[in-house]
Chain A
Amino acid sequence: MTPVLELRGITKRFPGVVANDHIDLKLEAGEVHALLGENGAGKTTLMNILYGLYSPDEGEIFVKGKPFMPKSPSDAISAGIGMVHQHFMLVPVFTVTENVMLGDEYVKRGGILDRKRAADRIRQISDQYNLFVDPDAYIKDTPVGIQQRVEIIKLLFREADILILDEPTAVLTPQEADELFKIMENLSRMGKSIIFITHKLREVLEFSDRITVIRGGKVMGSVTPAEADQNKLASMMVGRDIELDIDKKPARVGEKVLEIKDLMVADAQNHLVVKGINLEVHAGEIVGIAGVQGNGQTELVRTVTGLMHPVSGKITILGKDTTHASPQEIIELGTAHIPEDRQKDGLVLPYPITDNLILNTFYKPPFAKGGMLQEPEIAKNARELVSSFDIRTPSIETPVGTLSGGNQQKVIVAREFSRPIKFLVASQPTRGLDVGSIEYIHHRLIEKRDEGCAVLLVSTELDEIMQLSDRIGVIFGGKIIKILPAKGATKEEIGLLMAGVESESKTPDSQPVSVG
């Protein structure tokens, strides 16, 4: 049987980089094909070539056996290829129908839009593939998971047979992701072929028929899930052995470092978002806070680090009442903070690495003397940290904004870990990072714990929480609804708690979801 899609020897060069180097890929009808690779491995370039956004320097493409060379996305669409981008291309103030029609409008005589006919079609597609999308809903009122389905409907509406999904689970909760995979299964059963781009190992092993791994623009191999496991795939992606399973020594729990009592925090709109949290973190342990984004963890972290102040309650760090302390006072106590949004809070992007590494110690010796910055010392510090924290950069004067996400995060970790700390607040420490950097940061966190540092870890990645934590608190609706020892906790149990379900069941869609 001829494959629906075949790429042969696709090569694309950019000045100084070969983004795709003789890539071969075969997609069979009804197959879910995962394209796995680290950030910058060339996955997106390849898909953009297929979608007509780039033309390759070499190589051939065949669709159902016929040669095909798209010059624009509309060529790709008419050949039955559709793509859902990582960032959705939807107009928030339009309805689902209007968004789906956009660019392919149904019109009545006189140029009037035929919304009804389009809506009927969408309803029919939605029923056929069990998508549960209401054509009349406005995008701005729809959860992210549904928005993604609208993107998929857009492709089906244009009768695409080959669907490309770029990092489809990056924006979804675990439950939404599972539903997406069910939909993908449905689609493939009905004869659609799917390529999905990802760097998440668990997903590809569970949900794909075939996995192609790309590294540095080259195909490293194509395997079936049965032939592979997480460690093997990770090694193929990164090019060296990866230790994903961290075996950590048992925690040597020491004195109480953080104590939170009846904490209530309101957001900028004066809505109560943290509704009475009690929590303790001791030296030498990692307490993980699991939860779907938007359940109060951001505000909890900002309050603990002094960036926000609570409505009521009490926070004590190392025996000092810090409820109303300034960020600087809290830093001075020996607190380090890896912020949730590294580019917004953690770094000054136009600044060189040197300056970012002294962002909260710039006024102290040896970096300052008599109010003057000591450039040789600052440069020396940067050279040392760049080498000991393995920050990949052409020079210490390079603006951090031009570094990759992983290296930006390493700059933050280097800065926070290079001063004596007793308490570490790490919020989404590996968000958006590649496997290599995730491994690195995880090991560093464990190292700090073993040195006797108290660690409060907040993450929406359940795997991360389960791997690193000694105790896990599940946050839902501004409350920590349960704290349980990590040993013996199951993913299902925590997943249900994250959805706010303790005994009674609730549909995942009814939970609050915040975008981005």
Chain B
Amino acid sequence: MTEPEQKAQTPAEKLEKTPKASKPNTFTVFLEEVSRNSLTVTILAIVTGLLLGGLVAVVTTETVYEAFKFSFGYGFSEAFRVLGATYSALFTGSFGQPEVIRAAIASGDWQQINIAFSPFFESLVQSTPYIFAGLAVALGFRVGLFNIGAEGQIFVGALAAVWAGTQIHGLPAIIHAPLALLIGGLGGAIWGFIPGLLKAKTGANEVINTMMMNYIAFRLSEYLLTGVLKDPTKAHPISATVDTAAWLPRLFPTPNRFHVGFFVALLLAFLVYLLLFKTTLGFQLRTVGFNPNAARYAGMSIVKNTVIALSLSGALAGLAGANEVLGVNRNLGVAFSSGYGFDSIALALLGNSHPLGVVLASLLFGFLRNGALRMQLQAGIPIDIISIMQAAILAFIAAPGIIRTIYRLKEPKETVADPVLSTKLKEQQP
């Protein structure tokens, strides 16, 4: 019963020889995990999507056709003019106009500088609810759950936050604002908890139930906004303005709407990262998501973890709603969310369900959406081009084969540990 003699080296020796980089810090691991997701394809998908959107802008512009009627060369120059105008408006709308920024800095007037930079900050404001909601869906994806109900959870979160902001009085801002935010998150959590419990206890599919909870949330918001939460001084269904103490503080004077919600979102992205990859709870959640059989075998509770996961996901979406109410609108009307909850599914996909990826994807969407406003005003390009760009980017992300073919990229390299197995895999290929 002797241990088998190793010819070359034992695995242990091999391991020791592998140069192990000094303990990588959390951030490099963070970055590495993102880049492993064939980052090149993602970037190329974004570039291609933007190009395609520009192309659609060109072919849907009347003046291009008229110019082509006149002459071919004139047509082309008009086409390029439209293309240029589209992208420059998109850029200046989302980042600000370089000449204005330069002039403002030269003048040294704070208010002018503030105004010059406000497009950039407005883009961040637009990105903030995306980050919250994107994290919500990404957390679900990571643990094998499809939370289609982010939109409803956003509504409930907003309702809960507006309740806390309008019905609680007399608290100092340092308590009231976080409390209102927290209550908003709690509202969303309840909206995630219900389908979570249904799934865990009865096996009811969470895709159906989170979606159905959306409709309940929409009707609930209409009921409350025409009832107890309605501002009696207004004719249409809209809530009263929340107490100033509950406002998420804005950092710059108007018209700059940049508020602390953005930092809360970034903090949460980091916390979600820690939760998923560094805690025992996250380990359980991911195990249940990857392989529920193995999770059960290892003694983990599927019921408990499913409920926790959907509640946390709901809470994140609820924070998106609370953030909008407390940071931007300061009151709540019906149909206040412009589909953040549905876009968030796309964001989670675009960001590979990784918190950092979600943040980057949310910034992209926020900047695009903000830039689109100016594009419409200045270049006369309808704002819907943005939806086409977003859709094209997502289609390319979902079908990386297209991008690989267009740019002649190589297939991702399979890293198979065992040479024996790699031959076996090959043998099985035909």
- A residues with a Cβ closer than 8 A to B are 14, 16-17, 19, 39-40, 42, 44-45, 48, 53-54, 240, 243, 305, 307, 326-328, 331-332, 337, 339, 344-351, 355, 359-360, 362-363, 368, 371-373, 375-376, 383, 386-387, 390-396, 398-399, 402-404, 407, 436, 440, 443
Contact = CB atoms under 8 A, between A and B. Distances in A.
A326 B304 CA distance: 13
Contacts of B291: 344, 347-349
Given A14-B426, A40-B424, A326-B299, A373 B419 contact: no
Most buried by A among B4, B5, B290, B301: B4
A440 B290 CA distance: 29
Contact of B423 (A42, A243, A351): A42
Contacts, number: 136
A309 to B, nearest CB: 13
A371 B281 contact: yes
B62 interface: no
Contacts of A393: 11, 417-418
A346 B297 contact: yes
A345 B294 CA distance: 4
A395 B416 CA distance: 11
Contact of A391 (B11, B281, B296, B297): B11
A360 B419 contact: no
Contacts of B278: 372-373, 375
Contact of A48 (B12, B417, B430): B430
B287 interface: yes
B7 to A, nearest CB: 9
A53 B430 contact: yes
Contacts of A371: 279-281
A395 B15 contact: yes
Nearest to A382: B15
Interface in B274-299: 278-281, 283-284, 287, 290-291, 293-294, 296-299
B430 A327 contact: no
24 contacts: A16-B419, A40-B423, A40-B424, A326-B299, A327-B298, A328-B300, A337-B297, A344-B293, A345-B293, A346-B294, A347-B291, A347-B294, A372-B278, A373-B280, A375-B278, A376-B23, A383-B12, A402-B416, A402-B418, A403-B417, A403-B418, A404-B418, A404-B420, A440-B4
Contacts of B283: 355, 362, 373
A158 B291 CA distance: 44
A345 B424 contact: no
A54 B18 CA distance: 35
Contacts of A376: 23
B107 interface: no
Nearest to A392: B11
A88 B15 CA distance: 40
Contacts of A436: 4
Contact of A348 (B4, B10, B23, B294): B294
A386 B299 CA distance: 23
B14 interface: yes
B3 interface: yes
B36 to A, nearest CB: 12
Contacts of B423: 14, 17, 19, 40, 42, 45
Given A16-B419, A355-B283, A39 B424 contact: yes
Interface in B389-430: 415-424, 426-427, 430
Contacts of B420: 39-40, 404
Nearest to B420: A40
B299 A48 contact: no
Contacts of A407: 418
B421 A386 contact: no
Contacts of A42: 423
B297 A339 contact: yes
Contacts of A327: 296-299
A368 B299 CA distance: 16
Contacts of A39: 420, 424
Nearest to B426: A14
Nearest to B16: A383
Most buried by A among B12, B299, B300: B299
B1 interface: yes
Most buried by B among A386, A391, A402: A402
Contacts of A368: 280
Nearest to B274: A372
A348 B424 contact: no
Contacts of B280: 362-363, 368, 371-373
Nearest to B282: A373
Contacts of A243: 1
B294 A402 contact: no
A443 B3 CA distance: 10
A398 B281 contact: no
Most buried by A among B15, B279, B417, B424: B417
Given A307-B296, A371-B281, A372-B278, A387 B15 contact: yes
A307 B302 CA distance: 12
Given A39-B424, A373-B279, A440-B4, A387 B417 contact: no
Most buried by B among A39, A348, A355, A368: A348
Given A40-B420, A436-B4, A387 B10 contact: yes
Contacts of B297: 305, 307, 327, 337, 339, 345-346, 359-360
A44 B427 CA distance: 7
A88 to B, nearest CB: 15
A398 B14 CA distance: 14
Contacts of A440: 4
Most buried by B among A240, A375, A404, A436: A404
B85 to A, nearest CB: 47
Nearest to A248: B1
Most buried by A among B278, B279, B291, B298: B298
Nearest to A394: B417
Given A307-B297, A345-B293, A359-B294, A386 B15 contact: yes
Contacts of B421: 40, 402-404
A72 to B, nearest CB: 10
A54 B430 CA distance: 9
A331 B294 contact: no
B418 A45 contact: no
A143 to B, nearest CB: 26
B298 A383 contact: no
A19 B426 CA distance: 10
Given A360-B299, A372-B279, A402-B415, A45 B427 contact: yes
Interface in B1-32: 1, 3-5, 10-12, 14-15, 18, 23
B279 A240 contact: no
Contacts of B23: 376
Nearest to A45: B427
Most buried by A among B278, B281, B290, B420: B420
Nearest to B418: A404
B10 A390 contact: yes
Contacts of A355: 283
A345 B287 CA distance: 11
B319 to A, nearest CB: 22
A120 B81 CA distance: 77
Contact of A17 (B287, B296, B419): B419
A58 to B, nearest CB: 17
B422 A14 contact: yes
B4 A390 contact: yes
A360 B298 contact: yes
Nearest to B13: A387
Contact of B427 (A48, A339, A363, A403): A48
Interface in B296-327: 296-301
Contact of B15 (A350, A383, A404): A383
Contacts of A48: 427, 430
Nearest to B23: A376
A464 B340 CA distance: 59
A391 B423 CA distance: 19
Contacts of B11: 386-387, 390-393
